[in-house]
Each structure stands twice: as C-alpha cells, then as structure tokens.
Amino acid sequence: MKNKTYLLTLILFLLFFNGSILLISIVNLKTNLDSTQENCLREHSFITIALTKDLTALESRGIEAGSALQVLFDSYVHYYGKQNVYMELVQNGQTLYSSLPEGQELKGKPELPAAGKRIISTLPSQDRKYIGVVGVLPAPHDSIVLSYYYDLSALTAAWKRMTSLLFLAGLVISSLLAVCLILLLNRLFKPLQHISEASKSIAQGNYANRIPVRGNDELSEMATSFNNMAEAIENHIARLADAAEQKQRFIDNFAHELRTPLTSIYGYAEYLQKASISEEDKLEATGFIMSESRRLQNIAYVLLDLASLRSSEIVFAPVDIAELFQNIIDTLIRKAEEKQVTISFACGFDVLNGDRDLLQSLMVNLTDNAIKACEPGGSINITAYAENGRKIIEVRDNGRGMTREQLAHIKEPFYRVDKARSRAEGGVGLGLSICEQIAARHGAELKFDSQPGLGTITKVIFTSL
C-alpha cells in the first residue's frame, strides 16, 4: 500500500510538474515570438519610412537614387546586422541588394504585397528560422520592396537553455520531493504498520499487544480505537477462557460427584446379587443404595433449579424484610438449635422489590452455610441496611472462615470448602451457584469477605432496586 501510494503520488507529481514546466516554456516561447514579430513590424516600418526619406532627400539634391541606394542599404545592414537582422531590396522582381548569408535559401517567401501592405511570416532555411516582413516602400519609390529578416537562432537557443535549466531544476526538485515523500509516507504509514503487526500478533494469540499513540490526529484516533478493540478482545478472550475453565471444572466436579454414589450403588447391588447375606444385611445394603440414589436425585433437582433460574422470568413485587427474616429463622431454627447457634436480625429498611420465594431461598442458603461454618456456641447476624443509595443484606457469622484461595472458588458448582463435612451434612456443592443466579436475576451482586478463624461476611448488594 505504501509503495503504491508513493509511486502513484510521485508519478502524478512528475506529470503535473514537468507538464507545467513544458507549458510555461511553450507559453514563454510564444510570448517572445509575438513580441519579436511586433518588434520586426515596427523596425520594418521605421526602416521603410527612413529609407524613403533618405532617397527623397538625395533626389532633392540632384543625386540619383540608384547610386546612393547601396550606400544607404549598407548603412542599415551595418547597424541592424548586430541585432541578427538581415535585409533584402528587390526592384521589379530582381534582387538589388541582400545581406543574407551565402547559401541561406529561405523557403516559402511570400509574394509581393500590395502597396501599403506588409506580409509577416516565419521562414525556415537549412538550419535556421527567420521572421520575415515584406513591404513596398511608399511612393514615389513603390517599385522597391524591402524584406526584413530576423534570425531566430539566438531566441531559440535562449529558449532551449531556459527550458533545459527549468527541467534541470525540476529534476532536482523532483528528487528532493521523492526523498521527502518517502520520509513522509514512512512517518504516516508507521501507525498503519504498527496496526498491521499488532493485528498479526493478535491473530497469533498475543492479545496484550498495543499500538503506541502519538499526536492528536486521525491516525492517533485510529490507533486509540484499535487499542480499545484489542483490550476488549483480550477481556472477552479472558472471560471465554475463564468460562471454559469453569465449565471444565464443572464437568470434572460433576463427574467426580457422580462417581462416588454410582460406585456405591453398583458395589452394593453387586453385593446383593452375588453374596449370600441375611435379611438384615440386605436391608442395610438397600438403605445405602437408596441413600446414594437420593443424593443423585438431589443433584438432579438442584441442576434443574439452576437451569430454571437462567431461563424463567421472575415477577417483582414488594417483599417485607422483617417477614422475610422471620421466615428464614422459622425454617432453620431446629438446625441452629441442634448446633447451638444463635440467629439474630436487624432491619434498616422495610421493603425490597423482588420475588419472595427466590429471595427466601437465597437467604436460607446463605444462612444455612453460615450455620454449617459455625462451631457450637456460634452466632449469626442478619442485617438489612442502605449504603450509598443501595440496599444491602448482610449475613455475618463467627465460624471457621475461609482462605483467599477458597473464596476464589466458592461460587463454582460442586466446590466445597470442607468436602467431608459438606457430604456428611447432605450438601451437593451447588448452593452458592444457585444463590449467585438468584442475586443476578434481581440485579444484585454477591460478595464474600472472610478470614480463617474469624468468620465470614456475606453481602447481597442490590444495585438496581
């Protein structure tokens, strides 16, 4: 692209520039020729009048015109010969005197003009050109024709020298322009080259490549737009990579979750089929099979709940916060009492818009996780308050807490902070995934803050309610 632009621009400039030089040269030549022709006419008229007066004056003194004509002619030839002018006198069709160089035969001489008329023309010879003016002398000498020939050699040579100098200057200017043009194009196309290299780099997977932005013109705006696009692509690819990684972890965890109960079911089923056991052992084996089957059923139901949350529409309605908190305590009071955990709540606002059942499921899950994290004698505080124009529900416990690494994964499906304890308590590791979906459907954000041994603070921040 740069080379094509360079060649095309240079060719167009050379054509225009040299064409302009040629046009100026031609116009200058024509102007000089016109000026020379006018000057030749004036000089011919002057010589004709002066020669006639001289002949008349000589005749008035009794001197024959024929004997004095050559002297007069020679005097004019001597004076005008220094100006590249040649003359010729013709009388009755015969050449009387001529100052033309020997061997110079003028082609296309005009015929004799009528009295009082003059003919001007350009006459070529072997190696020269002349401007010729032919006219008859005034009466009583109208039998004499004066031809005035101006040699154009000097004018033509000067024109050729000027044209050569113009084209030489044009060559120097064109060379300088060619160098300046390539430097300018290199500077102008450098951002485009950066864009091309960055595009190739991004195509090869290096999404962090950026273009340096200089100046405040269209190219810098294009570079800025490209950088913004590259950043958006990098962020999008990163999100896709995270999503792909999460999906892979989901598949791995899901396969792991299925393997344990299926292994148990298959083992006990094979035990029932092949072993000779008592009725009591059969009941125990079928109990294990039913327990593991129920666990698989729970996983299936929870996955269906997740799918339903992603696709179904929810109806927003005012939800009384005090009533919501009381329902949570009523639902989990027995479990809390069994673990000797106390639950308290405080309401900083009265109403929250949302789906009552989903919000209750969200808060039950979060409070249930807090109960599981607490040791006997622990406490849980549920608080609703407004901060910076946003409504927030906070669940705070003084349980085991979590590390930063555990916090980074707790929203992932099937992830458990304490796998042995979670299985013993019947969890499948999908509770927080459901909570996040419910929060997202309500335009809310789920945040966790925790430290090992100091407990966990879970906030549901409603950004759009």
Average pLDDT along the chain: 79
Fill in the DSSP letter of residue 77. H
Q: In CATH, what number is assigned to the domain containing residue 116?
A: 3.30.450
Q: Is residue 391 in a domain? A: yes
Name which of 406, 431, 436 is nearest 299 in CA terms.
431
Give the pair of three-digit tokens for residue 146: 């004066």
Name which of 38, 120, 47, 103 is nearest 80 in CA terms.
47
In the prediction, which pLDDT does 144 show?
A: 84
Q: Is residue 175 in a domain? A: no
Co-location of 53 and 98 in the same domain:
yes
Q: Is residue 129 in a domain? A: yes
Q: Is residue 150 in a domain? A: yes
- In the predicted model, is pLDDT for residue 118 greater than 90? no
**Which of residues 135, 159, 183 is at a domain's end?**
159
In the prediction, which pLDDT does 256 show?
A: 55
Name which of 397, 393, 345 is nearest 369 in CA terms.
397
Co-location of 279 and 297 in the same domain:
yes
Q: Are 459 and 392 in contact (CB under 8 A)?
A: yes
Co-location of 9 and 155 in the same domain:
yes
In the prediction, which pLDDT does 380 show?
A: 92
**Which of residues 248, 282, 311 is at a domain's end?**
311
The better pLDDT of the pair 5, 426 is held by: 5
Q: Is residue 166 in a domain? A: no
Mind listing the pLDDT tens digit for each residue in 215-258? 676 667 777 777 788 778 878 888 887 777 766 665 655 565 56
Co-location of 303 and 327 in the same domain:
no
Mind listing the pLDDT tens digit for each residue in 176-202? 888 888 887 777 677 666 777 777 777
Co-location of 305 and 317 in the same domain:
no
Domain count, the chain: 3
Co-location of 340 and 400 in the same domain:
yes
In the prediction, which pLDDT does 54 show?
A: 83
Mind listing the pLDDT tens digit for each residue in 298-333? 666 655 665 565 556 777 889 999 998 998 888 888
In the prediction, which pLDDT does 235 show?
A: 83
Residue 382: strand pairing partners: 345, 395
Question: Where residue 426 falls among pLDDT bands split at 50, 70, 90?
Answer: very low
Q: Is residue 306 in a domain? A: yes
Alpha-carbon span 233 to 230, nearest angstrom = 5
When pLDDT is averaged across residues 415-422 and rounded to a whole number, the result is 52
Co-location of 340 and 307 in the same domain:
no
Co-location of 214 and 341 in the same domain:
no
CA 191 to chain centre: 9
- In the predicted model, is pLDDT for residue 429 greater than 80? no
Q: In CATH, what number is assigned to the domain containing residue 254?
A: 1.10.287.130
Return the axis-axis angle of helices 2-60 and 65-81, rounded to nearest 10°.
150
In the prediction, which pLDDT does 320 show?
A: 93
Co-location of 318 and 306 in the same domain:
no
In the prediction, which pLDDT does 340 show?
A: 92
Alpha-carbon span 394 to 14, nearest angstrom = 78
Co-location of 142 and 6 in the same domain:
yes
Domain that holds residue 422: 313-462
H helices within 61-152, ranges in order?
A: 65-81
In the prediction, which pLDDT does 103 show?
A: 67
**Which of residues 255, 276, 311 is at a domain's end?**
311
The share of the chain scoring above pLDDT 90, in percent, equals 8
Q: Is residue 164 in a domain? A: no
Co-location of 339 and 287 in the same domain:
no
Q: What is the dihedral of CA 205, 206, 207, 209, to 10 degrees?
A: -150
Count Cα neighbours of 235 within 13 Å in the Cβ-side half-sphere.
6
Q: Are 112 and 136 in contact (CB under 8 A)?
A: yes
Co-location of 347 and 453 in the same domain:
yes
